[in-house]
Structure 1
Amino acid sequence: VATGRTIRHPRRPRRLGRVGGVQPDGRTLATGGADHEVWLWDTETGSSIGSFAGHTCAVFSVAFSPGGRTLATGSADDTVRLWDVATGRSISILTGHTEDVFSVAFSPDGKTLATGSRDSDVRLWSTMMPRPS
């Protein structure tokens, strides 16, 4: 039952910014902000458990894939990044938007990523990585 009561309040020295999503298992929260980084938080303790750096401007949106292994981030640098959650490595940079990317969302099967931007475009991206030959 929703109580409307705050149960955790993650804090860090820099501005926290935008909440993106909770990993499907409910253990990890991802946030983005003005510091160009993506932060991961333990939902039980509210403690920071890591960060991803790579965007060159504010991070406006984050979303976990349905399996929780990939994180998508949209930024004011006009790009979308896909991250390997386990390693923190950027696995793909999606370019095509010409202005800030405000929203990212995975399809239920995780094979498609939808993004929305200030440029008034909505784009659908395949998230299927090619297999090495």
Structure 2
Amino acid sequence: MIKLERQFLKDMCFLAKNDSDVIYIDLEAKTAELFDSPNAESISIEKYVPILNSLASDLARESNGYLKGLHFSEYDCSFSLTFKAFHYNSIVWDKVKGFLLKSIVTPIVVSILTTLLTILLTSLSQPTPQ
């Protein structure tokens, strides 16, 4: 995920409180707000408008899965955020922990066990002095 996509998700998570909230983007006013919500807070999305279509489409792609129910028209856009969008940091941290465990910790443990086993077998195979 590129920095602009991550910033877009953070801004949208600021608006929506759960995955049932629908976010409505007015492309003419360049604002985003919750759909059908009185007293809804609105944020400016001016920096995303030039590439909003490709940005949202990439985030909604099944392999990414950050947006659902994406609808585009000439003047507006609407979508909901998924669980994955709300918990992005936790998911990334779990992937990093898994990588560290598989790529660093496991080889170190295997190396130590192999060394200890080699030392033990070598000491057992040598005759004892009399």
TM range (shorter): under 0.3
Decide which structure has the larger Cα Rg and report it. Answer: 2
Structure whose residues are more often strand by fraction: 1
Instruction: Give the alignment's TM-score, normalised by structure 2.
Output: 0.25
Structure whose residues are more often helix by fraction: 2
If asked which structure has higher relative contact order (CA below 8 Å, sep 6+), I would say: 2
